[in-house]
Amino acid sequence: MKASKIGDDNYFQISGWMINRLGLKGTLLKIFAIIYGFSQDGESRFAGSLQYLMDFTGASRRTVIYSLKELTEKGYLIKHETEKNGIKFNEYEIAPGVQKLHGVSAEIAPEGVQKLHRGGAKIAPNNIEDNIDLDNKINNIISYLNEKAQTSYRASGKETQRLLKNLLTGKNPYTVDDCKKVIDNMVQAWAGTEFEQYLRPSTLFGNKFENYLNWKVKRQPKHETEAERLRREQDEQMLALLEGDS
């Protein structure tokens, strides 16, 4: 008999809100509850093996993989791909929009998952879905930034959440594609230069966002030398920073 990955003192807890508010059941419910136990502090991640989840849920490997995929697509989990010693691993955490639902009794304001634990009014029926959709958009944007700029920012960062929520939910909200265009524009302008350090959420999604969105990336003239190109780009970048882009 194959040894179990579960320790004698290991356990996981299923809370009513996981059933009532998220509509989870069966293997989905068990896996969500297990990962919630590892990442409910907002900092840690579940880095355990598929076998660990299989042993705890009694599900097959295929069912566990499909359940993780479904929970991620629903926006309940965030998947992180890491590499150690040339081997790729997946780690999971609870999405910011749902990690504070435990103990909710207040009406959820459209702009704030951070206030989910306060008050005493009835929860508006569509706000949880709205918040999860917003968090999906933020996760999408930060994943795109990390891919294009070769960074490793977390979508759950407080400042990142604040900046992107302001952009995506303001009176004249921007779109995910707008945010990705800003990333593309500035990666093309700054990657490989001393200004690469400014490829970060606090700069890209701050008060110069509209400038970056309309940034005109100049194409290299046919007869421009490499030295001339570098000098021109440095001059353009310095001008942008002097205008307050950082």
Which helix (H) or strand (E) segment is 60 a member of?
A: none
Helices (H) and strands (E) in the chain, counts: 10, 2
Assigned architecture for domain 1-94 = Orthogonal Bundle (1.10)
Q: How far apart are CA 246 and CA 243, in angstroms?
A: 9
What digits encode the pLDDT tens for the residues 132-175?
Answer: 678 888 989 999 999 999 999 998 888 999 999 999 987 889 99
Q: How far apart are CA 34 and CA 161, in angstroms?
A: 25
pLDDT above 70 covers a percentage of the chain that reads 76
Q: How far apart are CA 243 and CA 124, in angstroms?
A: 43
Which residue blocks in the chain are alpha helix, DSSP H?
16-20, 26-39, 50-57, 61-73, 127-149, 158-169, 176-190, 201-204, 209-213, 226-242
Tell me how many degrees the CA angle 152-144-98 measures, rounded to the nearest 5: 75
Report yes or no: 112 and 134 within 8 Å, Cβ to Cβ.
no
Q: How far apart are CA 170 and CA 150, in angstroms?
A: 29
The pTM for the full model equals 0.46
Report the chain's C-alpha Rg in angstroms. 22
Q: How far apart are CA 27 and CA 48, in angstroms?
A: 16
Residue 46 bridge partners (DSSP): 92
Q: How far apart are CA 67 and CA 158, in angstroms?
A: 28
Can you give the pLDDT of all 246 residues of the chain as single tens digits? 567 777 777 788 888 888 888 889 999 999 999 998 887 776 778 888 888 899 989 999 999 999 999 998 888 888 888 777 777 788 888 887 775 555 443 333 333 333 333 333 333 434 555 566 788 889 899 999 999 999 999 988 889 999 999 999 878 899 999 999 999 999 998 988 888 999 999 999 998 999 999 988 665 555 667 777 777 777 766 666 655 544
